[in-house]
Structure formats: structure tokens, C-alpha cells
Amino acid sequence: MTLVLAVCVATLVTVSVYLMLSRELKSIAMGVFLLGHGANLAIIAMSGSPVSLVKGLRDAPILGGADLVDPLPQALILTAIVINFAVMGFLLTLLIVTARRTSTLNVDQLAKEDSPAVSPILERSRPERFYE
Amino acid sequence: MTDNLIGLLVIIPMITAVVSVALVRHPQPQRILGLVSFGSMLLLAIRWLIQIRNGDILVSQMGGWPAPFGITLVFDSLSGLLLCTGLVVAIGCYVHAFSVLGSDSERRYFHPLVQLLLVGVNQCFLTGDLFNMFVGFEIMLMASYGLVSLGGRRSQISQAYKYLILNLVASTAFVISAGFVYGMFGTLNLADLARIVDARVSSGQGLPPGFVAISVLLLFVFGAKGAFFPLWFWLPDTYHTCPTPVAALFSGLLTKVGVYGVARTFPLVFAAGDAGNVVTPLLLGSAAVTMLLGVLGAVSQSQVRRILAIHVLSQVGYMIFGLALMTTAGLAGALYYMVQHMIVKSSLFLCCGVMESHTGSDDLDKLGGLLRRDRFLGISFFIAAMSLVGLPPLSGFFGKLVLVREGWSEHWWLSAIALLTGVLTLVSMLKIWSMGFWSRPLESSQNQEHSLGSNNLGGAYTGIGFLVGAALFVGVAAEPIYGIALTAGEQLTDSTAYLKAVSPLSDISSALESGGSG
């Protein structure tokens, strides 16, 4: 099981690094999200039965001597997922704003361009309203 | 000592943020609310700081759960001093923003974002466990993402990505390392970690394999947030584009939280055993390069805001220098330096904001004769700049003195670099002073003279005056403040007081007997 998870984590991280190295902001954003998932899976992979503090719990009659899963890493991941979700929302919003204001999502062009470009999309969607 | 009220430092700004979202269309009540929030937090923090001046540590165990099982908040000398300074900086920048920030930007949730930033910063300073530090970082960063793109100008948006992506990657590394630390030791509470690591090292059992890797990973995380040498590239661009009060706030608070992370976790836990032999050279090398490259970058620039932004790096180098020594006086020097740097750097950024609103530019070639036009600004800038350089009666001197003297015996080359950096700092500050303030007014700027009074800059001057006053206070009151910093240094190098205050339990059965009702 650990091996499967390790392979999954490695794949996710590889793909995300590949995506983050591209020149398109969309791909970079997707790479960042995948990296977050990779991190969460890595924490799942390392969590096992509760580590140090369960001598009292394991004997509880309701468990009947069965194995325990450590709830704390799952709580960590839940928090991390929520935070990731919020950041994802912000990043996607920023992507939309960038696309509307500059009509490009390419890193090189963003760095180069100086004057605001006008695109058909920009005119139709009335960018001022976005912030109001 | 238990004092559950220290949680207020996180709760007050959170409530204020929620209320000001509701008031988002009415700037005036939001401003008053924000000032009340900052003011009350500052008073509380100062009160507690006075209470713990003898080296006590205030602890709050959330919900009454004993240490490794619940959430622990710790208010010791290190957190207390940084909390007070952070709040002073926040008040100065906040007041300054009233008159500099456009009403558009202000309506776009400036006030709630600043409050949320403080929620995150205060939580980072107060928390006693690694995962809550991560959560604090995230809250702070979410607010800062909003502030970086506040106003939404094109240049700002494209620079915001650099900041955003780097911080997202660093945060992911933080989650991974927090998870792995839990996997190794079964706890994330810093006091509990310190107890386990100490026991393992002293009993000769050794640390688990991979401990060094986790240490270095955490160093990467804090280094990215604090703009240490190989990871500093995002900082000059970001600070260059966002509104000046925001840049001032960031330079005062954000990078220092990264430095705080190193100061809090490394002497306590992550520099133990073999990890210390790996981390210390990394920190020393990074300190040297950060100091020197930062100041060289600043000397080569000709825009005031860029000079100041790149200078943040070289100052961070001094702090890493103090941390890398890992001695009581070294840590105390780094802490005192942080306190004075947060205040001085923010006030310089605020001065830069007023310069921009006077002349419409921060390019040194287009500035000139500002001293004649605005005496208050000139004097404030001079005091702040000389504090940064470290001339004797001002605050920067004492910080540098402690660091250089402490480093001299063991790493004399670093002390020499620190002194050289000081000289170059003087050069870059004199460049701004002589070209911007001292020189003859430019022909073209004279006809703008009448527009000077038309802007209402009352808030801006109040903010600058407040911060420069605070900087002078830090210099005059160097002895008591350094005393607190020295207590903090002792608590960091010798963790017994910290462990005793938090008193983590080693066994869950005793926790279940004495535990909370939750």
C-alpha cells in the first residue's frame, strides 16, 4: 500500500513540476494544485496506526483489539484541503482578471507588454464591473 | 503561567475583519473600527509584555486540553516583543494608508484584508505547534495575496504571480514537512517535540533518519517566506509594484514572520543532533550572501522604492547572521535587530510613499529639493535612514554592535561582511538623501510646487511621525528592549523554561484523567 501511494505521490509531483515549468499561467496554476494533492497523499502515506500515545486507547473494549487509524494526519489533510481550495479559488479569479485586463496568459507576453491591450473578450465582458 | 486571554490577540482582528466586511462601503467607520482593534491589541500586548519581563511565559491551552493534545498558545518574550512591534508597524501603515490609498482601493476590502493579515501574523507569533504555524502562515498569505493585487493594476497583477506561486510551493513544502514530523515523532507541539528530541539525543538513541532532510525542508520554507539568499528573487518585484502602505506593511511584517519561524523552531527542535551541523553552515552562508548581495543591489538601483525593497534583503541577512550563531547573545541581537528593522524599514517605505505623492515618481533622477519643499518628510527620512545605517544614538547601532561583537570570535569574516554592508548601506541611503532631498530642486518640479498643499496628507504624516517616533524610542530605550531580547535569547537556547511553561504530557492516560470536557 505504501509503495502504491509513494508511486502516486511521485507521479503527481513529477507532473506538477512539469506543468509549473511551462510558460502558460493556466498550466502553472494546475501544477500548483497538483502539488497540493501530492502533499496530501504523502501525508496519508506516512500516517499509520497512532504513533506514541495509544497505550490507553488500544485496550478500550469497544475496539475489540482491532487496529486503529491515526485521525490526526487526516485532520491535517482536511485543513490543508480547505486552504488549498481557497487558494485555488483566488488563483483562478486572478487568472480571469489577468485574462480580461491583458488578453494573454503567457508569462513572457505578460512581462513584455506595457500598454493595456484591447481584446474582443475584454470589451464584451466590461472589466470594470468585475470589481464593483 | 496560564492566561487564556492571550487568544484575544487572534480573536480581536478576526471579529474586526468580519464586521468591516459588512461595512465595506463606508470607509470612515471601518477606519475607526480598525484603529480601535489595533490600539486595543497593542495595549494588551504591552501589558502582557510588562507582566512577563522577569522571564515568565504565558500559556493558554485551548479548551483545557493539556499540551500535546490541544492547541497551545504561548506568549513568551520572543513572541511578545515581535507582537508589539508588529502592531506598532501595522498602526503606522494603517494610518498612513488613509491619505495615500485611493478611495477605490480602500473600498476593495483593504480594511478587512489588513485585519486578516494581522490574524495570521499574530497566530504565527503566538502558536505553540507547527501545524497552527502553517495555518497562521496561510491566513497571512491569503490576506497578502489580496493586498498585493489590491487596485489591480496590470504591472501589479503580473508581479503578483511570482509572489503567489513561490509562496504556494513553500506552503506545500510546509504541509509535507509538518506531516512528516508528525510521522516521525507522533506530535506537532513544539514543546513536546523538543522534549522527545532532547531525550533521544541525550540517551544516545539518535534521531530518526530523515530528520536532517526535514530540517532542511523547513529551512527552505522559512527561507522562502523570509527572503533568504537563494529564495529572495520575488521580493524586489513584488514590493516595487504594490501600493506603498502595503509595501511598508509587508516589509515590516511578512519577511519577519519567516525569520521568526527559524528563530522559534530551530534552536528548540530542528537544529538538534546532526541537523545542526547541516543547518548552521547553510544559515551562515546564506547570511553572508544575503547581506552583501542585498546591499550591492540597492546601491545599483536608482528608484527609491527599489532601493528600499532590495535593502530589506540585506537587513534580513543580519537577522540570519544572528540566528546562525545560535548563542544567547546572537539570538538576542537578531531579535533586537528585527524590532528596530521592522519599524525603521516601514517608516522609510512610508516616506517613499509621500515622496511619490509629492512628485509623482520615485525615480531619483526626477526628484530633487524635497528638503526645501517638505521639511518634516526630510527630517523623518534622515532619522529613519540613519537608524538603518546604524549611527550611534539611533536604534540600528545597538543591533549591529551586538551582532558584530558576538560573531567576531567565531566567524570574523561574517562580522567583516556585516561592517562592509553597513558602509554600503550608508552609501545607498546617502544617495537617496543627496539626490532626492539635499539637492537643488529640478526646474520641472518647481511649477508643481503649488500642488503640494492640495493633497490631504495628514494621515500620511501621522503615520510617518508615529513610526519615526517609535524608531527613536527603540534607540533611546535600547537597554530595556535589549533586556527583553536577551531573556528571549536565553529562553531559546535553554528550552527548560519553555518546556516547563507548556508542560507537555507524555502519556494519554493522564490526559484523559485530567483532560478537558471537549
Tens of pLDDT, residues B117-142: 999 999 999 998 899 999 999 999 99
The CA distance from A56 to the nearest CA of chain B, in Å, is 6
Predicted confidence (pLDDT) at residue B394 exceeds the cutoff of 80: yes
Do A56 and B509 count as a contact with CB atoms less than 8 A apart? yes
**What pLDDT score was predicted for residue B442?**
67
Do B179 and A32 count as a contact with CB atoms less than 8 A apart? no
Q: Can you spell out the DSSP letters for B400-459?
A: HHHHHHHHHTT-HHHHHHHHHHHHHHHHHHHHHIIIIIISPPPHHHHTTGGGGTTS--HH
Q: Can you spell out the DSSP letters for B458-516?
A: HHHHHHHHHHHHHHHHHHHTHHHHHHHHHHHHHHHHSTHHHHHHH---S-HHHHHHH--
| Mean predicted confidence (pLDDT) in A46-67 | 63
**What pLDDT score was predicted for residue B93?**
92
pLDDT tens per residue, range B271-283: 887 888 888 899 9
Domain of residue A101, CATH code: 1.10.287.3510
Count the domains in chain A: 1
Nearest to A53 by CA among B69, B480, B342, B64: B69
- Residue A111 counted as domain residue: yes
Work out the widest C-alpha separation in chain A, in whole angstroms: 72
Q: CB within 8 A of B78, min separation 6: which ones?
A: B260, B263, B264, B335, B488, B491, B492
B48, B75 in Cβ contact below 8 A?
yes
Which band of pLDDT confidence, cut at 50, 70 and 90, is reported for residue A57?
low
Query: Which grid coordinates belong to B302?
Result: 536608482
Predicted confidence (pLDDT) at residue B516 exceeds the cutoff of 60: no
- Residue A35 counted as domain residue: yes
Distance between CA atoms of residues B105 and A76, nearest Å:
35
- Residue A83 counted as domain residue: yes
| Mean predicted confidence (pLDDT) in A111-124 | 46
**In chain A, what residues touch B146 (CB-CB under 8 Å)?**
90
**What pLDDT score was predicted for residue B469?**
92
In terms of DSSP bridges, do strands B72-75 and B58-61 run parallel, antiparallel, or are they unpaired? antiparallel
| Mean predicted confidence (pLDDT) in B502-515 | 62
Q: CB within 8 A of B54, min separation 6: which ones?
A: none
**What pLDDT score was predicted for residue A121?**
38
- Residue A103 counted as domain residue: yes
Q: Who among B152, B172, B176 is closest to A97 (CB)?
A: B152
Interface test with B, best of A78, A87, A105 (most B CBs within 10 A): A87
B119, B257 in Cβ contact below 8 A?
no
- Residue A113 counted as domain residue: yes
Supply the range of the domain harboring residue A21.
2-50+67-131
Q: Can you spell out the DSSP letters for B16-30?
A: HHHHHHHTTT-HHHH
Is B149 touching A (CB cutoff 8 A)?
Answer: yes
**What pLDDT score was predicted for residue A126?**
40
Helix (H, G, I), strand (E, B) or coil at B362: coil
Nearest to B69 by CA among B511, B518, B407: B511
What pTM value is reported for the model? Answer: 0.88
pLDDT tens per residue, range B400-435: 888 888 888 888 888 888 889 888 988 888 888 888
Distance between CA atoms of residues B330 and A78, nearest Å:
39
Do A94 and B168 count as a contact with CB atoms less than 8 A apart? no
Predicted confidence (pLDDT) at residue A87 exceeds the cutoff of 50: yes
pLDDT tens per residue, range B137-180: 999 999 998 888 887 777 778 778 888 888 999 999 999 999 88
**What pLDDT score was predicted for residue B261?**
92
Which band of pLDDT confidence, cut at 50, 70 and 90, is reported for residue A38?
very high
Which band of pLDDT confidence, cut at 50, 70 and 90, is reported for residue A59?
low
**In chain B, what residues touch A10 (CB-CB under 8 Å)?**
none
Which band of pLDDT confidence, cut at 50, 70 and 90, is reported for residue B40?
very high
Interface test with B, best of A26, A30, A46 (most B CBs within 10 A): A46
Q: Who among B157, B176, B187 is closest to A42 (CB)?
A: B176
**What pLDDT score was predicted for residue A131?**
43
Residue with cell 524635497: B370
Predicted confidence (pLDDT) at residue B301 exceeds the cutoff of 70: yes
- Residue A57 counted as domain residue: no
Search chain A and give the residue with CA nearest B505. Answer: A53
- Residue A109 counted as domain residue: yes
B432, B303 in Cβ contact below 8 A?
no
pLDDT tens per residue, range B189-204: 898 888 888 888 888 8
